[in-house]
Structure 1
Amino acid sequence: MEISGCHRIGDDNKLSVVGNGMISIKIRDSENKISNVFYVPGLKHNLLSVRQLILKGYDLRFKNGFYEIKDRNNALIGRVEMTVKKMFPLKFDGDNLFSLYTNTKDVSCMWQHRFGHANIGALTYMHKQQLVHGLPFIIDTNDICEACELGKHLKKSFPQDKT
C-alpha cells in the first residue's frame, strides 16, 4: 500500500508523507517490526503514533511520569521517563539505526528493474501469458533506462601503439 500526501498530527500540523514501509527496532535483545511507518523527509524526530501502536496490538501505559510499551506477548519493549517538555523520547540500542527508502511513479520501469532490466516486450509477453503472479500491465513509455543504455554501448578497442 503506497501512502503519500499530507497527514495531520496531534498538534494539528500537517506533515508531508512521501512513502511508507516497515522498520525493525532492536531493544534489549528483542527485535520488533513495525509496519506502515511513514517516511517524512526533513522531520527532526521520529514519531510513534499511539493509536497505530494500539491497533497493532501493543500495550501502552502512561503512569507516574513513565511510558511503557509492551508487545503482544506482554514483553517490555521500552520504558521511558517523561522529559521537562512533557515528551517521551524512546531511544533505541545501537548506533546503526537507518532506514532505506525507494519510490518510483513508473510501475513499468520498476518491474523492468526487478527483472534485471529485461526487455519491455518480454515483460509484456509475461503479463499476457500470466507467467508472473502480480505482474501488472506493462506500458512502454519509450523512456530509456540509463543502465540499459550503458549496457548496450559498444566498446572501442584500445589504440594499438606502433613502437
Structure 2
Amino acid sequence: MIDAISCSSLTKKETFMRRLVRWPSAVLALIWIALSLGCDTTPHARPPQWTAVEITDAAKVAGKWEGILRRTPQNKRNDLVALIIEPDGQFRFTSVRTIGILSGEGTFAIKDGKLTFSSDRGTINAGLFEADGKRMLKAEGIASDGMTYSSELTPIP
C-alpha cells in the first residue's frame, strides 16, 4: 500500500512538472504566432513618384477638384475643400468648416507653368503633378491675415 501511495504521488508530481513546462511553452508559442501575424512579409507598394507638369493653359486643369485643406499653424482639424476651374481660368472654391464656410473666386493666371492668383484677400499658387496616370494639384495659399493654407487636390469625375 505504501508503494501505491508513492506511485500516486509521483504521478501528481510528473503531472505538475509537465504542466509547469507546457504553460510557458504554450505562452511563448502564442506570443510568437501573434508577433508573426503582425509582421507583413509582402512587399509594400512604393508611393507614386509625382512629377511636376507645366501648366500652359488653364483648360489643361479645368474641372472639379477636391481635397483636404490644411492650415499652418496646424490646428486639430482639417477641412474639405472643393475647387472648380473653368477652361478660361475662372475658379470658385469652397471649404466647409465647423466655424463657417471659407470661399472665394477669381481668375487664375499662369506664371512659370503654375496657376497663380492674388487679391486683397490673399494669394494662391498651384502646380500640377502626375504619377501612374493620376493627377494632383498642389495648392498653397496665404490669406491677408498671414494664415497659410495648403492642399493636395484630386480631380472629381
Which bin holds the TM-score, normalised by the shorter protein?
under 0.3
More strand by share: 2
More helix by share: 2
Q: Which has the higher contact order (CA 8 A, sep 6+)?
A: 2
**Normalised TM-score (structure 1):** 0.21
**Normalised TM-score (structure 2):** 0.21
